[in-house]
Structures are given as C-alpha cells and as structure tokens.
Structure 1
Amino acid sequence: MTTLLFNPLPVFSVPLTGTDSAIPVSRIFCAGRNYAAHAAEMGGEVDREAPWYFTKSVAHAVLSGAKVPFPPGTQNYHHEMELAFAIGTSVSEATETEAQAAIIAYGCGLDMTRRDRQQDGKDHRRPWSLGKDVENSAVFSAMTLATDFGPPSDQRIHLEVDGESRQDASLAEMIWSPVEIVRHLSRFYTLRSGDMIMTGTPAGVGAVSPGQTITGGIEGLDPISLTLETVG
C-alpha cells in the first residue's frame, strides 16, 4: 500500500443556499471577454466566432467573506465581478438541452487579476498564469439551484469597493450565455460534476489596494465580498 508523503489539500466546496449541502469544486474554467464593453476598455474586441477560456486552480479558491493577503508581485491588482455556475452532471459535446440540464447552480464570483502580470503575458505572447491563477483569486458566494434562479436574462450585476460603485451592468450584456458556453466548452473537455465556470466580467474593472473591501451582487443570488488585508 502506498503511503502519501503529506496530506492532500482538503476538498474546496461552495455552499448551496437554503440547504445543508455544498458543491465540491473540481476545476475552474473562466470565459474571457464575454462583455463587449469590457473588451473595449481592455483595448480588444470580442471574438464572436467562439468563446475562449483560461483556468484557475481550485487551490486558489476562497469563499465569500474571506479576508486574504494582498498578493505579492503586483502594483495593479484588479477586481472582476462575474456570474459563476456549477456543472452537476457529466456532459460531452452537449446539445442545447443537455447543456441546460448540466447546469446545477448559479452564484456570484470574483476573478481577481494581477493586471500588470497579465499585460506582461500579452506583451510577450506568454501564458497569463501569473496574472490570473493567483492565490485567493477565485472567490465564490453561496450558490442557488438553477431551478430556483431560472435562466440568466437581464439581472443586474454590480460591484463596489469600500461602498463606491465600480461595475454596474446587466447579464443581458453577455455575448455567450451559460448554455452556449457549456455547449462550446464540452467540445474540448468532458465537463464533470463540480466543474465551476466563470462567465466573464462587465466594464468597470479597476485596481484595489490593501485594506479595501470588495462587495458585489447579482439580482436573485447571494452577494459576495472579499477583504484585502493591509500589508505589514
């Protein structure tokens, strides 16, 4: 029998609101530039031919309400408020009906980003890992069953920093809907129970500083918050 040299990380799970259950998270996929206004503010355009993605490590995920250290190696740490959803059943090359059925729950998410390190990657045609796959950078609120939330439509999505409004938009502004993302992504991966997908951020992203608190919400879902601890 093989003996593990050290204990594995505990399973990260997201509570399912109104229940005693939680969703164990296996992988985190993130859709890029899914709002035209955000793509424009970042100096790019939406690729209307197909969605595209990057990933974050589950080890870097935290729950809403966390107080976390300000990350090292950045002078430009940005907030990105997003709709997140969880996969509840395995699906590959999904039809529209299968994609809809595969989504078990929706919640709020924060995709925190070292924007300067992301820009380094863009400038030198290198991966974005130092910019996107950052410790404590994938933040999730408690999730709501898809049957209770219903299909995303024109629900308000917003974010504040220390109470000051930064992002305020509608889910109707998404280029690719959750169902369309599942249909496309499942052509490249067998999506499994516990996969979490973040759907991109609207315009209004910006820098945050140590000591600040980020709050946000999506109409009909549990709100989200994150506090960046003061350095030193």
Structure 2
Amino acid sequence: MNAVTELVFPAPAAATLAVAGSSARFPLGRVFCIGRNYRWSADEAAPTQMPAWFMKPASAVCAAQGVLAFPPATREFCHEIELVVALGRGGRNIAAAQAEAHIWGYAAGLDLTRRDLQQQAKQAGGPWEPAKAFDRSAPCTPLVPAADCGHRGPGAVWLTVNGVERQRAYVSELLWSVPELVAMLSRSVTLLPGDLIFTGTPAGVGPLSPGDVVAGGVTGIGEFSMTVGSPADAGATDIYQP
C-alpha cells in the first residue's frame, strides 16, 4: 500500500508554455540563460572559453503578448531578444553531435533585465538573480516543434521599439552553436525534459519605458508585439498567471 503524501498547502500549478498550432502545452522545468554569445562589435575577438550562464525560475516564463509588465525596483529596464531552445530529452555529458536529438522545439523569447541592478551586482561581485529572475522576466512565443521547423540555421533574430530596429542578427552568427550550448550545460548539470535554454542576445540591447511598443521574433519560429506597462500596474497577486 502506497503512503499518501500530505501537503501543507496545495501544490502550485505547473508552469507551462503554449505549443504553436496545438491545444497541448509544454511543461517547463528550469530556464538556463547564456551570457554573451554574439559579437557586439566587428573587431571583437573570437571567444576562447564557453560563455557564462545563469538561471531564471520557470515561473518567470509568460506568453509574449499583451502588456509587458514594467518591474519594480529598477530605473533601467532592458530588452534582450533571443532564440529559445526547449529540451524534450534530458541527459548528462551530451555530445554536441547528439544534442539535436534532445531538442523538442524552439521559440522567440525576451531575457528581460533590470540593468541597473545587474551593474550593481557586477561591481559588488554579487549574484545576478535580482537583475534577471524577477516576475514575468522571460516572455516567450509559442513553441514550434523541431519536427515541424527543423533545427535552426541562418534565421534572423530581431527586435524593434516603437518601429525602430534595435537588434538584428542571425542564428548562424552565434559564437557557440545550439548543440555546443546543450553539451556545455550537460557537463555541468543533468539536463531534464522541459528545460529551456535562452541562447544569448545580439548587440543593441537598450532600455524600455512605459508605453513603448516592443516587437520582435525569430524568422520561421515566431513573432510578438507587446506594450510596456506602467510600474504602477505591477500589482501584487497571490496566484501565478502563466
């Protein structure tokens, strides 16, 4: 007879992300975010070491639509457009040549940042979580299964603010490819089905203000348009709203 586990309060609903063209939803695990992974200037030297990475909670992921919440505790709220990779298989010490077999699908996402808090953390040698892991800091378009779109080649990654382009690059310009990123992470932690990987942002990151219209996407994967809300609109809630 199996023992019944008694929870002290009801477990929160699992975080999920929409799947393009389907009523199914993708259950989310962890969110890994890759640091600098594009050249931000033409004369930037080729990297000799794999990029740094950090994490956001699954509860930070939200649909890239409607109002883009302006977070509290910042005066420099910045956008970073990225290709997002969703894993359907986990593993440890995955070879780069085998990494695509672990990828379930792709999305376009924003790694939103409280830049002033990030700079403070860099100067103090402190953690980045206050700058990166806040509520609704990882908006994503619906996931497109790799079975439908294939694995990403030279598609454009782009973002505009109020119709003015700020960021544009191509997936083929990643300093470390998606398979290399999967392999790198798997050497450090055991990857799990449901994990997301934000693969890094191109040059052109910049601040957002209330009322700005932010549009972006990854060619062949998804596009979005959101309007930045007022800090006063970021009211407290007791229930996570995916």
TM-score when normalising by structure 2: 0.88
**CA deviation digits over 1:44-82, x for unaligned, max 9?**
977432132100011222111042431111111100000
Larger radius of gyration: 2
| Aligned Cα root-mean-square deviation (Å) | 2.0
Counterpart in the other structure of 1:182:
182
Residue aligned with 1:187, SS: helix
Counterpart in the other structure of 1:23:
26
User: Are 1:67 and 1:229, in contact at CA under 8 Å, matched by a contact in 2?
Assistant: yes
Tell me how far apart the structure 1 counterparts of residues 42 and 52 of structure 2 sit (CA, whole Å): 13
Note the C-alpha offset of 1:35.
0.7
Tell me how far apart the structure 1 counterparts of residues 91 and 41 of structure 2 sit (CA, whole Å): 30
Counterpart in the other structure of 1:172:
172
Residue aligned with 1:184, SS: helix
Q: How do 1:12-51 and structure 2 match up within 5 A? A: 12-37=15-40, 47-51=47-51
Tell me how far apart the structure 2 counterparts of residues 72 and 10 of structure 1 sit (CA, whole Å): 25
Note the C-alpha offset of 1:8.
2.8
Segment of structure 1 superposing worse, 15-24 or 215-224: 15-24
Note the C-alpha offset of 1:39.
11
Identity %: 36
**CA deviation digits over 1:86-111, x for unaligned, max 9?**
00012110123431100110110100
Q: Which amino acid aligns with 1:103?
A: I
Residue aligned with 1:172, SS: helix
Q: Which amino acid aligns with 1:177?
A: S
Tell me how far apart the structure 1 counterparts of residues 31 and 113 of structure 2 sit (CA, whole Å): 15
Q: Which runs of 5+ in 1 are unaligned?
A: none
Q: Which amino acid aligns with 2:24?
A: S
User: Are 2:47 and 2:175, in contact at CA under 8 Å, matched by a contact in 1?
Assistant: no
**CA deviation digits over 1:144-173, x for unaligned, max 9?**
111322222211111011222111221122
Counterpart in the other structure of 2:113:
113
Tell me how far apart the structure 2 counterparts of residues 215 and 15 of structure 1 sit (CA, whole Å): 19
Counterpart in the other structure of 2:218:
218
User: Are 1:38 and 1:202, in contact at CA under 8 Å, matched by a contact in 2?
Assistant: no
The 1:131/1:38 distance shift into structure 2, 3 A limit, reads farther
Tell me how far apart the structure 2 counterparts of residues 48 and 34 of structure 1 sit (CA, whole Å): 12
Q: Which runs of 5+ in 2 are unaligned?
A: 233-242
Tell me how far apart the structure 2 counterparts of residues 61 and 221 of structure 1 sit (CA, whole Å): 17
Counterpart in the other structure of 2:86:
86
User: Are 1:83 and 1:109, in contact at CA under 8 Å, matched by a contact in 2?
Assistant: yes
Query: Is 1:11–2:14 an aligned residue pair?
Result: yes
The 1:113/1:155 distance shift into structure 2, 3 A limit, reads same
Aligned length: 229
Counterpart in the other structure of 1:209:
209
Residue aligned with 2:85, SS: strand
Note the C-alpha offset of 1:225.
3.2
Counterpart in the other structure of 1:103:
103
Tell me how far apart the structure 1 counterparts of residues 145 and 35 of structure 2 sit (CA, whole Å): 24
Tell me how far apart the structure 1 counterparts of residues 39 and 119 of structure 2 sit (CA, whole Å): 19
Tell me how far apart the structure 2 counterparts of residues 133 and 39 of structure 1 sit (CA, whole Å): 31
User: Are 2:71 and 2:231, in contact at CA under 8 Å, matched by a contact in 1?
Assistant: no
The 1:38/1:32 distance shift into structure 2, 3 A limit, reads farther
Tell me how far apart the structure 1 counterparts of residues 212 and 12 of structure 2 sit (CA, whole Å): 28
Q: Which runs of 4+ in 1 moved over 4 A?
A: 44-47
Tell me how far apart the structure 2 counterparts of residues 21 and 60 of structure 1 sit (CA, whole Å): 20
